[in-house]
Structure 1
C-alpha cells in the first residue's frame, strides 16, 4: 500500500465570472522514503493540489480520491482529517514570514501544534520545540525558542517552518516552494536538511516548486503540471534525460546553461499560461507549443489529452507522442 494515493483529483472554484477548474484529474502516488516533485509555472495548479491533499480548501468543490495510508480523505469527517493534518501529514508553506504568526514566539507556535496532537504540559511541548529546532540546525535552540519570527533570518525561518512540520513526527511532508526567496547557499542547506531528515525518518515528501534545479537535486519522481492538468510524469533521471512533452522541453530549455556562449540570450516559452476560467480547446499548451506552431494538428485542439504510458514508467499527455506524419 502506498503512503499516499491520489486518483482523479479535481478542484473547482465558483467565481463571479464562472467556474474555475484549477485542477483536472490529477493522479499520483507517494511511497515512504520517496520524494515526488511537482513542477510547473505559476497558476498550473501545484499549490491547489497540495491544499486539496491537506483538506484546506473551504470554498472549493473537491472530487476524486485522496487515500492516505488506506484512509480516504475526500468526503471524510472533518475530525478525521484534522487528526491526520499536522500529526501524520504536515506542510511547509511557501512564505515562512507570513506563515508564522508575528505575535507569538517560535517555540510557542511549535508547542501549540505539538500539544494539539499529543497533549501534555506546555513545558514538555517547549522541550520538544527545542529538540526539533536543534534537529533542523538552529544554533542555541534553548535560547532562540523564545524569539519571534522577525528575529530569525530568512533561512532560519524556513528551518523553523520545517521544525514545526516535524514536531509531531509526520509520515508525509508537503513542501510548497520551501526555497523561494532564499539565496543559493541557504537553499542548498534547506534541501540537504530535508534529504537528511527523509533518510533518517523514512519520510515521504512532496516537493512543489517551479525550480527544476531543486527538482533535479531531490526528486525521485516528477509530475509536470500545466493549466491544472498533468503534462508529463516520469522518474527524475528519465524526465531530465528524455523529456517528451513540448512544455517539459520548454522548461528545461529555459534553464541557464554553463556551456552557453558569451552573450547568448536565455530561452523562454512564448506567451502566457492559459486562463483556467476560459481554457483553450484540447491541449491547453497548444497556443504556446512550437510543435503545433510549426505544423498545426487537429488532434491538439480536439479532446483534452490525458496521461498515457509511452515508455517504462514514463507518461506523457501530448496527443502527438507516437503519431507519425
Structure 2
C-alpha cells in the first residue's frame, strides 16, 4: 500500500479583491506530493504558480482562500496564524526566487540562520550558531565557520541561494517549496543548485514542490508535473509520459517553444500566439481556446463546445487533462 501524501491540495481557490472586481488567481486546483518525490509546477507568468505556493504556506494576507490544504493530515486553510507560524520553518519551508531581497542586509548570514533555528527549535544561542555553521557546510559553502560571519552582499548569487537553502532546511522540514530558485543564476550554478536540492531530498526524504517556467528544470528534477494555465490545472502526469506524449495543446506549445539541438542557428524560437487570459473576466469555456491550434481543424460543434463549456479535469488521455480535444497516445498533437 502506498504511503499517504505528505501534502494534499483539494479544490483550492484563491481570490483577490481589486477595485475592478474579484480576481480568482487559482481556481479549483488539486494535487498531491509524497515524501521523497518532487512535483514540478510549470506555466507562464500569471498562471497561478507562486500564488499556489503562497497559499500552501499561508502567506496571503488579503486573499480569500477556500478548499483544502492538508499537510501530513492537518488542515491548513483557516488555521490560526500562531499555528501556521509553528509549522512554517519546522514542518514546511520555502525558498524564494530572489535571495538578496529575502536576506536581511544588516545581519550576517550565520545570525539569520541561527535566529531561524532558535525561533522554531527553541535552541540556545550557542547551539543555534553551531547549527548555522553545520547548515552552511551541508549546502557546500566552503569555510562555513568564517563565512557565517559575513553579510549577504559578500556572497555571489549562487552562494546566496545556497544560504537560503541552508536556512530553509536548518530545522529539517518535511516539505520544501522552491519558487523559481534558479531563475537568476547562470546555467552552471543552476545545475549545482538543482543537484544540491536533489541530494538533500534523497538524504532526508523531503517532499519538494518545484515552481518554475523552465521545462528543462522540470525534466531534470521532477517526478511528476502539474501544468497550470489561467489559474487552473491544464495537465498532470509523471514527467516521462508528459514529455513523451503531451495531451493538452498548451503543454505541447510549451515543449515546442524549447530550443532544439537540430534547429538552425538562425531559426527563431517557436512561440504560443496570443496572450494569457484575463482573470478579471474569465471566458466561459476553455481558457486556452483563443490560442489553441487544434481549433483550426475542429468541427463547428467542437469549436462551440471549447468556447462555451469549461473542460473538466479528467483522465480521458491516460492522465488528468483539462481539454475537450486532448491528444491521445500515439496520436500527433
Measured against the shorter chain, the TM-score band is: over 0.9
Aligned match for 1:260, one of 248, 263, 274: 263
Q: How does 1:203-242 map to 2 (within 5 A)?
A: 203-242=206-245
**1:108-149 deviation line (CA, Å, top 9, x unaligned):** 111111111111222211110100100000111000101111
Aligned match for 2:321, one of 316, 322, 325: 316
TM-score by length of 1: 0.97
Q: What SS does the aligned partner of 1:15 have?
A: coil
**1:189-215 deviation line (CA, Å, top 9, x unaligned):** 000000000000000000000000000
**1:231-271 deviation line (CA, Å, top 9, x unaligned):** 00000000000001000000000000001134222100011
Aligned match for 1:102, one of 101, 105, 118: 105
Q: What SS does the aligned partner of 2:22 have?
A: strand
Alpha-carbon distance in 2 for matches of 1:270, 1:243 = 18
Residue in 1 that maps onto 2:331: none
Alpha-carbon distance in 2 for matches of 1:279, 1:220 = 31
Aligned match for 1:63, one of 50, 63, 66: 66
Note the residue ranges of structure 2 that are not aligned, 5 or more in a row.
Answer: 329-333
Q: How does 1:145-184 map to 2 (within 5 A)?
A: 145-184=148-187
CA RMSD of aligned residues (A): 1.4
Aligned match for 1:196, one of 196, 199, 214: 199
Contact 1:309-1:316 within 8 A present in 2 as well:
yes
Alpha-carbon distance in 2 for matches of 1:36, 1:322 = 23
Contact 2:178-2:208 within 8 A present in 1 as well:
yes
Alpha-carbon distance in 2 for matches of 1:262, 1:223 = 32
TM-score by length of 2: 0.94
Using the TM superposition, give the Cα deviation of residue 322 of structure 1 relative to its aligned residue in structure 2, in angstroms.
7.4
Contact 2:105-2:153 within 8 A present in 1 as well:
yes
Contact 1:46-1:208 within 8 A present in 2 as well:
yes
Alpha-carbon distance in 2 for matches of 1:145, 1:241 = 45
Q: What SS does the aligned partner of 2:320 have?
A: strand
Aligned match for 1:112, one of 95, 109, 115: 115
Alpha-carbon distance in 1 for matches of 2:317, 2:213 = 25
Contact 2:105-2:152 within 8 A present in 1 as well:
yes
Contact 2:294-2:325 within 8 A present in 1 as well:
no
Residue in 1 that maps onto 2:305: 299
Using the TM superposition, give the Cα deviation of residue 177 of structure 1 relative to its aligned residue in structure 2, in angstroms.
0.2
Contact 2:246-2:327 within 8 A present in 1 as well:
no
Q: How does 1:12-161 map to 2 (within 5 A)?
A: 12-161=15-164
Aligned match for 2:285, one of 268, 282, 285: 282
Contact 1:299-1:320 within 8 A present in 2 as well:
no
Alpha-carbon distance in 2 for matches of 1:310, 1:131 = 49
Note the residue ranges of structure 1 that are not aligned, 5 or more in a row.
Answer: none
**1:249-300 deviation line (CA, Å, top 9, x unaligned):** 0000000000113422210001111111122231111111111244361111
Q: Report the structure, 1 or 2, having the larger strand content.
A: 1
Alpha-carbon distance in 2 for matches of 1:269, 1:144 = 45
Distance verdict in 2 for CA 1:321–1:142, change over 3 Å: same
Task: Answer with 32-41 or 69-78: which moved more.
Answer: 69-78
